Chains A and B, each alone.
Chain A
Amino acid sequence: MEQVSQHADPHYDQEANKLGMWLFIFTELLLFGGLFIVYSIYRFLNPEAFQLGAHELNPTIGAINTIILLVSSMTIAMSTSSLQKKNKGLTVLLLEITIMLALVFLINKYFEWGVKFDHGIWPGSEHLINDMSRGEILFFGLYFVMTGLHALHIIVGMIIIIVALKRVQNGTVNENRSSLLDNAGLYWHLVDLIWIFLFPLFYLIH
């Protein structure tokens, strides 16, 4: 393994930055891994209730959001390669599209949660506790925790992308120092990947 990077700036080590980001992604996967374990245990214990709960969710909105995230993953990946091709304008445009898509995802999520609230379903709500089975309480508890935590990651991802965008504009992130944008992309793919698992687990398995 190369240990000393031969670069103009001795403090910049692209390999180290990438390795650090991958390690951080491991920790995120384990964080959600804990939740997926909880989900699978309670699904195993309450199969009927989880099916009933899934019928309450709207797979169409879920599918639209899946497509939005997949496209946003594509745009951020394209922005990284356009930065390597020194096309700063296109990079900025693609990052702006990514942020817009993330925003649309959150708006959809807001309306989705809003419908649940209108139906009297939220963690600890009277309707949930009095009228529904224990399994459904768990289903909706996990639904709100997992999609909520995921939405939080979307927001964090947006902030990182906005910072990357500013840095691309003022030139501190460029084709020779692209770690920040690369890592923002990696993080965004992670957020996307987690949604790819959440979507079938909550919306599709009936």
Chain B
Amino acid sequence: MQTATQIPHDVNYLDYKGKYKGIFGWIFSTDHKRIALLYMYSMMVMFVVGVALGLAMKLELIAPGQTIMGPQTYNSVFTVHGVIMIFMIVIPGLPAVFGNFMLPIMIGAKDVAFPKVNLLSWYFYVAGALLVIASVLFGNGTPDTGWTFYAPYSFKSGTNLLPAIFGAFILGFSSILTGLNFIVTIHRMRAPGMTWFKMPLFPWSLYGTAWIQLLATPVVGITLVLVALERIFGIGVFDPALGGDPVLYQHLFWIYSHPAVYVMILPAMGAISEIIPTFSQKHIFGYRAIIASTLAIAFVGYFVWGHHMFTSGMSGTAQYTFSVLTFLVAIPSAIKVFNWISTMHKGSINPEIPFLWAVSFIFVFMIGGFSGLVLGALATNVYVHDTAFVVAHFHFIVFGGVGFSFFGAIHYWFPKMFGRMYDKVWAKVGWAFFTVGFLTLYSPMFYLGMIGMPRRYYDYLPEFHAANILSSLGSWVMTFGLLIVVINLFRSAKNGAIAEINPWHGKTLEWTVASPPPVENFEEIPVYGEKDGPYEY
């Protein structure tokens, strides 16, 4: 089909005029780079909604008692905030945007293996997002179960849950298709001579991620279907009144949703593994150790789901086992941190903005990781279970980990994606506000959890007031920083200074093609020889 029209190599993907005009040239495009940007823009819309809901919660918690919303509204707000942020931002985040954009270029391919399936996965993403929005706008009441849809409340609640559940199911399907596409692409389309251990670390992390997406998502898919059928027909599998077991729901849910945490964090780590050596102007330390730890995290991540359920009713043996396995995840994570620090050691560090995001990633990831050990240990978990401590922990990992890495990655690859450079001064100002705000927002919640403030309440006792004020102030500072970052990037995509092909002296293939890349990436597919390596092409 495409063989009839020769695609010129001097036209970049942004200016290319294909079969369709205007917006249709984007939403019907099977170009992995355009699909990446489609994902990015649709995620940005949802992200704005998610942030606004988060701000509203922090405003509600600025004083005890009812401030701006009642308990039912608060329940809906944290539910929709969670569903949007988890299923639409952090799970697809790095793979769908930077994976789609960079994976084919970094392995020397013209596109992913199944470009049409790739576009289909974006359609599923949009369909899922629209269903979730529909559950908010229509029906009697916004979902109020929390993003986990725990049984039995998820089929007892009178709110409009069905569209949200189907939305999450379809978003999962989108994620499966992306993962499938990446695995086949990596297996089949690496440049000639690029063996597995000549592949850069970001594609490696996407490979580990893709397997998790593929093997874990179907389980949550069927679980959500069962909850939906329970709501519609009353089949009984999770309903204690009909003989079912609601704890079984939690098991099935976390069998997916814990590995999903690694879907979020592995590509984030992969991006950091690209940024740190580039700006340390040094080789990555322990290339193979990073790959091994990536695969180890992907593997062990399947066997730790029980640590979400220490208070849900499990045998003591199961609790100890899950606790020990949870500690095991800390080892490969620590290996990665060790490798990043060793890469910086005696490097010639060029503290550009992507590097700043990367080191602040390591900082917040360490805090998130250590608080994860507190939660993985049985005794302390029971003490802080379902408190603000847990909320602080997973925001440090999920928002700190994925968010900082995402912003690091966008500042790193922005000149390649748009062919223009952003304003570096404003980028640094935005980063500073964001980081200070982030720490002010979430650090007090560790303390609040330790002294006993439960999560998911719109109200609290007066002794929690001071720390909550600090946290709410932090949310404003962070959002201010976020605004600076986003506005700066938006303005620069149009009006920034023209960027060089390789502004950071990166060593991977994407820095050898023009900025922005031509439609089919390479005029001639690179060939790796004996002496070439992942970072010596």
Residues on A lying within 8 angstroms of B by beta carbon are: 1, 3-4, 9-11, 13, 15-16, 19-20, 23-24, 26-28, 30-35, 37-38, 41-42, 46, 122-124, 129, 133-135, 137-138, 141-142, 144-145, 149
Candidates B188, B194, B233; contact of A19 at CB < 8 Å = B188
Question: Chain A binding site: helix, strand, loop or mixed by DSSP?
Answer: helix
B18 lies within 8 A of chain A by Cβ: no
A34 touches B222 (CB 8 A): yes
* Residue of B184, B194, B219 with most partner-chain A CB within 10 A: B184
B113 touches A124 (CB 8 A): no
Chain B residues within 8 Å of A15, by CB: 188
Chain B residues within 8 Å of A37, by CB: 252
Number of B interface residues, CB 8 Å? 41
User: A4-B525, A23-B180, A149-B225 provided; 18 other pairs, C-beta below 8 A?
Assistant: A16-B113, A16-B187, A19-B183, A19-B184, A19-B188, A20-B113, A20-B184, A31-B221, A31-B222, A123-B235, A124-B233, A133-B243, A137-B236, A137-B242, A138-B243, A141-B242, A142-B235, A142-B237
A39–B431 Cα distance when bound, in Å, is 51
Chain B residues within 8 Å of A149, by CB: 225
A123 touches B214 (CB 8 A): no
A124 touches B189 (CB 8 A): no
A16 touches B234 (CB 8 A): no
A20–B183 Cα distance when bound, in Å, is 8
Chain B residues within 8 Å of A38, by CB: 226, 237, 248, 252
A89–B187 Cα distance when bound, in Å, is 36
Q: Mark B178-218, 1 if CB is under 8 A from A, else 0.
A: 00110110011111101000000000000000000011011
Tell whether A3 pairs with B192 under 8 Å between CB atoms, given A38-B226, A134-B242, A138-B244: yes
B234 touches A123 (CB 8 A): yes
Chain A residues within 8 Å of B189, by CB: 3, 16
A116–B1 Cα distance when bound, in Å, is 51
Can you name 25 A-B pairs with beta carbons within 8 Å?
A1-B187, A3-B189, A11-B3, A16-B184, A20-B181, A20-B184, A23-B180, A27-B217, A33-B219, A34-B218, A34-B219, A38-B237, A42-B237, A42-B243, A46-B243, A123-B234, A123-B235, A135-B243, A138-B236, A138-B237, A138-B244, A141-B237, A141-B242, A142-B235, A145-B235
A66–B243 Cα distance when bound, in Å, is 30
A134–B245 Cα distance when bound, in Å, is 11
Chain A residues within 8 Å of B219, by CB: 30-31, 33-34
Chain B residues within 8 Å of A137, by CB: 236, 242-243
Closest 9 CB pairs of A and B: A134-B243, A141-B235, A124-B234, A123-B233, A30-B218, A34-B222, A31-B218, A16-B188, A123-B235
Candidates B194, B223, B235; contact of A124 at CB < 8 Å = B235
A122–B234 Cα distance when bound, in Å, is 10
A32–B234 Cα distance when bound, in Å, is 20
A4–B108 Cα distance when bound, in Å, is 12
Chain B residues within 8 Å of A23, by CB: 180, 183-184, 214
Chain B residues within 8 Å of A123, by CB: 229, 233-236
A140–B468 Cα distance when bound, in Å, is 50
Nearest Cβ in chain B — how far from A39, in angstroms?
9
Residue of A nearest to B229 (CB): A145
A144–B229 Cα distance when bound, in Å, is 11
B223 touches A34 (CB 8 A): yes
A122–B236 Cα distance when bound, in Å, is 12
* Residue of A19, A46, A133 with most partner-chain B CB within 10 A: A19
Instruction: Enumerate B80-104 residues with CB–CB distance to A below 8 Å.
Output: none
Residue of A nearest to B234 (CB): A124
